[in-house]
Amino acid sequence: DAGVTQSPTHLIKTRGQQVTLRCSPKSGHDTVSWYQQALGQGPQFIFQYYEEEERQRGNFPDRFSGHQFPNYSSELNVNALLLGDSALYLCASSGGTIYNEQFFGPGTRLTVL
């Protein structure tokens, strides 16, 4: 049973560019959450998708947007990249019979130059 997968593993962009990160949830899960983890900090909640809609959002600007597809996979888009967007972006999935546990992927390391 594959766990949560994310792509790409690493990404380097320059300021002002746009980036798309991808996530496939664990089999049987229907909810995907995205987090930003700056170096040496705890993850911060960006938003959560359920039934192809954004259900909950953290304190992030509109430059951060997302999408969920009918197969429950998800994308995170960040526009007009800033140096401060450099971080590890984590995807977590939940659902099924253990609704209150989130399973995390390995993350995508984004570097903005």
Partner 1 sequence: GDSVTQMEGPVTLSEEAFLTINCTYTATGYPSLFWYVQYPGEGLQLLLKATKADDKGSNKGFEATYRKETTSFHLEKGSVQVSDSAVYFCALSGDSGGGADGLTFGKGTHLIIQP
95 binds partner 1 (CB under 8 A): yes
Residue 97, SS3 per DSSP: coil
Kindly state the tokens that stand for 26.
Answer: 């664990």
Q: CB neighbours of 68 closer than 8 A, spacing ≥ 6?
A: 32, 49, 50, 51, 52, 53, 74
107 binds partner 1 (CB under 8 A): yes
Cα 23–chain centre separation: 7
24 binds partner 1 (CB under 8 A): no
| CB of 18 or CB of 47, closer to partner 1 | 47
Query: 């909810």: which residue's tokens?
Result: 31
Which one of 55, 63, 83, 113 is in contact with partner 1 (CB under 8 A)?
Answer: 55
35 binds partner 1 (CB under 8 A): yes
1 binds partner 1 (CB under 8 A): no
Spatial contact of 24 and 4, defined as CB atoms under 8 Å apart: yes
User: Which stretches of the chain bind partner 1, using CB under 8 A?
Assistant: 31, 33, 35, 40-48, 55-56, 58, 90, 92, 94-95, 98-107
